[in-house]
Amino acid sequence: MRLGHGRKFPCIGVCFVEERAFGLITRRRFLGHSALTASAVLSRRAIAQTMVQPAAPVIPNLDPNTLARFVDPLPLPRVAQPVDHRAAPDGSGERVPFYRIAMQAARAKLHRDLPPTALWAFGGSVPGPVFETRSGQGQLIEWLNELPARHFLPIDHGIHGAEKEKPEVRGVVHLHGGKTPPEGDGYPEDWYAPGQSRTYYYPNRQDPTLLWYHDHTMGINRLNVYAGLLGLYVIRDGVEDALHLPNGKYEVPLMLMDRDLRRDGQLSYPVSPNPEKPWVPEAFGEAHLVNGKLFPYLDVEPRKYRFRILNGANGRFYRLSLSPEIEMNQIGTDQGLLPGPVPVKDVQLAPGERADVVIDFAEHRGARVLLMSEAFTLMQFRVAPSAVSDSSVLPSTLRSVSPIVEASAVNTRRLTLDEQLNMVSESMGMLLNKTPWHMPVTEKPLLNTTEIWELVNLTDDVHPIHLHMVKFQILDRRRFDAFEYMTKGSLRYLGPAMAPEPNEMGWKDTARVNSHTVTRIIVPFVGYPGRYVWHCHILEHEDNEMMRPYEVLAT
């Protein structure tokens, strides 16, 4: 375990503020937006950052607000096509679609007025091709590593798993939210070098939802994903089809992510002032990409649309709303449909979380509607002026989601979320339960049993905690005295337990664990025995030790 390196953000021309809203704490770049500055409190970290004198970047970063808005149509990812059918490896004799997708260097225009940006991409595009499949329809994917021999983003060789003796470029693919056997789950240490490939089997024996695939390589995951290695994966079934939700061209994926770009249009990843230890604890970009474009527009008809939204950012939390304000209906979350539509004015998404949202433009003929995240404009909807007929339905009942009875849990684990700070409040790394990655496995639930995990967040940040292979429900969140916990070891609550938000009351695979809050999740360990991981989905945290193995034991 190499702690003792890494500073907080390099303060290149901008500083950071801490904003408290809805009981959450998020750090944001100070952009001069009054909405942000008015509530801003200069954090201990921002104070520390003013003490840092970073090296000037060779090419300054681009201010995306200097670009023309809404000049590029929203791109839609192409649908992946199988190249063959092969025998499923489960012994069933069934022949299943076989896909071959390469991780490779690519160039893409992120905006009309920018030169092509060098990226790493699945199948040559960011996002990669979208997989379309059905519940219970297995498929095989050969993931080829055809990346170049050298990385183009700053590797920190002091981070566990990214040592100098390892190949600089490595890759391994994880299907986020997939109920996947362990040999195909993309275990972070199962990486492979350029010229190699792995074929993974996805049984897809799970409810319909939006999953996503991305790199998960030990120690450089944040860099590989930032480079562009992510894509969407949709599972459907007949029950969902029968709801007659908006479909076809009226169902639109929106993959959100933020990047910093240099003025020459190339990716810029933030680094610490120490070139030997370039890791930074979070990477927030000022350029917000929707399906890989800056400020795209989408022509829509005045009717209902279904948007399948992923926060694919490394560390950015999005709080999505429409301007002018239009009420949305959230119909699904990470692991599928909610019991019924939840009317919302905004939708909060931490990295890794998904939202399934229906927006009805019927009352807004001829309008220009912006998709915003607080002060940031993400994209524009251009509503056509003429009325259309709309046969799609927004049913009041979507799917039965039975709350798991707490008494059914056979075990409760109390697990802390930890951050180590030095004397000037600079992060030295994060941990789960004060235990680095390489220590022996401590979480070993039995297959087909249910556990409660009490996630005790001792840090000042919100951490989106993701468990591989399983889905879970959020029981509640409760504020506690973190100082007393850290000094005396006693857990003293500061208020009542709060139920999850209505739009979190479905099946989840990633849960926001708020600062100084105990978030309880209840997890049926149903699926496959074997070694998996759980981790924070802020990728900079995950790469610097906020990830642990867990093992489902066969009964």
Binding residue (CB under 5 A) for Cu ion from 175, 536, 547, 552: 536
Q: What is the spatial distance between Cα 453 and Cα 513, in angstroms, rounded to a whole number?
A: 12
Q: What is the spatial distance between Cα 394 and Cα 304, in angstroms, rounded to a whole number?
A: 9
Q: Quick one: which of 76, 74, 75 has its CA closest to 382?
A: 74
Judged by CB, which is closer to Cu ion: 121, or 432?
432
CA 4 to the chain's CA centroid = 27
Q: Which stretch binds Cu ion (CB under 5 A): 21-29, 54-62, 107-115, 536-544?
A: 536-544
Q: Which stretch binds Cu ion (CB under 5 A): 15-23, 52-60, 525-533, 534-542?
A: 534-542
The CA angle 417-420-426, to the nearest 5 degrees, is 125
Q: Residues 405 to 444: which contact Cu ion by CB under 5 A?
A: none
The distance of closest approach from Cβ of residue 247 to Cu ion in the complex, given in angstroms and rounded to an integer, is 36
Secondary structure of 108-124 as H, E, C letters: ECCCCCCCCEEEEEECC
Q: Which stretch binds Cu ion (CB under 5 A): 253-261, 350-358, 476-484, 540-548?
A: 540-548
Q: What is the spatial distance between Cα 368 and Cα 383, in angstroms, rounded to a whole number?
A: 6
Q: Which stretch binds Cu ion (CB under 5 A): 1-9, 194-202, 231-239, 531-539?
A: 531-539
Q: Quick one: which of 462, 526, 474, 539 has its CA closest to 504?
A: 474
Is the dihedral angle over the CA atoms 553, 476, 319, 395 positive or is it negative? positive
Q: What is the spatial distance between Cα 312 and Cα 77, in angstroms, rounded to a whole number?
A: 14
Q: Residues 53 to 82: which contact Cu ion by CB under 5 A?
A: none
Let me know how long the chain is: 555
Judged by CB, which is closer to Cu ion: 184, or 351?
351
Q: Which stretch binds Cu ion (CB under 5 A): 75-83, 284-292, 516-524, 537-545?
A: 537-545
The distance of closest approach from Cβ of residue 314 to Cu ion in the complex, given in angstroms and rounded to an integer, is 11
Work out the number of other CB atoms within 10 angstroms of the CB of residue 4.
Answer: 11
Q: Is 466 in the site for Cu ion (CB under 5 A)?
A: no
Judged by CB, which is closer to Cu ion: 8, or 463?
463
Residue 465, φ and ψ in degrees, nearest 5: -95, 130
Q: Which stretch binds Cu ion (CB under 5 A): 121-129, 317-325, 406-414, 458-466?
A: 458-466
Judged by CB, which is closer to Cu ion: 220, or 401?
220
3-class secondary structure, 275: coil
Here the tokens at position 301 are 């008809």
The distance of closest approach from Cβ of residue 438 to Cu ion in the complex, given in angstroms and rounded to an integer, is 19
Judged by CB, which is closer to Cu ion: 456, or 536?
536
Helix (H) or strand (E) holding 409: strand 409-421
Q: Is 548 in the site for Cu ion (CB under 5 A)?
A: no
Q: Quick one: which of 16, 38, 11 has its CA closest to 26?
A: 16
| Binding-site string for Cu ion from residue 478 to residue 517, where x marks contact by CB under 5 A and - marks none | ----------------------------------------
Q: Is 316 in the site for Cu ion (CB under 5 A)?
A: no
Q: Is 538 in the site for Cu ion (CB under 5 A)?
A: yes
Q: Are 497 and 505 in contact (CB under 8 A)?
A: no
The distance of closest approach from Cβ of residue 103 to Cu ion in the complex, given in angstroms and rounded to an integer, is 25
The distance of closest approach from Cβ of residue 160 to Cu ion in the complex, given in angstroms and rounded to an integer, is 16
The distance of closest approach from Cβ of residue 348 to Cu ion in the complex, given in angstroms and rounded to an integer, is 16
Judged by CB, which is closer to Cu ion: 110, or 538?
538
- Nearest residue to Cu ion on Cβ basis: 536
Q: Are 174 and 132 in contact (CB under 8 A)?
A: no
Q: Which stretch binds Cu ion (CB under 5 A): 36-44, 192-200, 332-340, 463-471?
A: 463-471
Is the dihedral angle over the CA atoms 211, 215, 221, 226 positive or is it negative? negative
Q: What single-letter amino acid sits at 181?
A: P
Helix (H) or strand (E) holding 541: helix 539-543
Judged by CB, which is closer to Cu ion: 257, or 398?
257
Q: What is the spatial distance between Cα 544 and Cα 436, in angstroms, rounded to a whole number?
A: 9
Binding residue (CB under 5 A) for Cu ion from 222, 316, 463, 516: 463
Q: Can you tell me which residue has the tokens 């060789």?
A: 157
Q: What is the spatial distance between Cα 395 and Cα 276, in angstroms, rounded to a whole number?
A: 56
Judged by CB, which is closer to Cu ion: 74, or 482?
482
Q: Are 203 and 95 in contact (CB under 8 A)?
A: no
CA–CA distances in Å: residue 175 to residues 178, 187, 229, 444: 5, 11, 12, 22
Q: Are 62 and 265 in contact (CB under 8 A)?
A: yes
Judged by CB, which is closer to Cu ion: 303, or 463?
463
The distance of closest approach from Cβ of residue 295 to Cu ion in the complex, given in angstroms and rounded to an integer, is 29
Applying CB under 5 A, the site for Cu ion has a residue count of 4
Judged by CB, which is closer to Cu ion: 28, or 463?
463
The distance of closest approach from Cβ of residue 151 to Cu ion in the complex, given in angstroms and rounded to an integer, is 23
The distance of closest approach from Cβ of residue 454 to Cu ion in the complex, given in angstroms and rounded to an integer, is 17
Q: Is 547 in the site for Cu ion (CB under 5 A)?
A: no
Q: Which residues are CB-contacts of 171 (< 8 A; sequence separation ≥ 6)?
A: 103, 143, 145, 147, 191, 192, 215, 217, 224, 229
Q: Which stretch binds Cu ion (CB under 5 A): 31-39, 163-171, 460-468, 498-506?
A: 460-468
Is the dihedral angle over the CA atoms 322, 316, 329, 71 positive or is it negative? positive
The distance of closest approach from Cβ of residue 420 to Cu ion in the complex, given in angstroms and rounded to an integer, is 13
Here the tokens at position 524 are 């049926």
Q: Is 277 in the site for Cu ion (CB under 5 A)?
A: no
Judged by CB, which is closer to Cu ion: 222, or 463?
463
Here the tokens at position 491 are 């857990």
Judged by CB, which is closer to Cu ion: 333, or 514?
514
The distance of closest approach from Cβ of residue 463 to Cu ion in the complex, given in angstroms and rounded to an integer, is 3
Q: Which stretch binds Cu ion (CB under 5 A): 94-102, 238-246, 479-487, 532-540?
A: 532-540
Q: Can you tell me which residue has the tokens 């030997």?
A: 276
Here the tokens at position 522 are 């209840």
The distance of closest approach from Cβ of residue 513 to Cu ion in the complex, given in angstroms and rounded to an integer, is 8
Q: Is 541 in the site for Cu ion (CB under 5 A)?
A: yes
Q: Is 27 in the site for Cu ion (CB under 5 A)?
A: no
Q: Which residues bind Cu ion (CB under 5 A)?
A: 463, 536, 538, 541
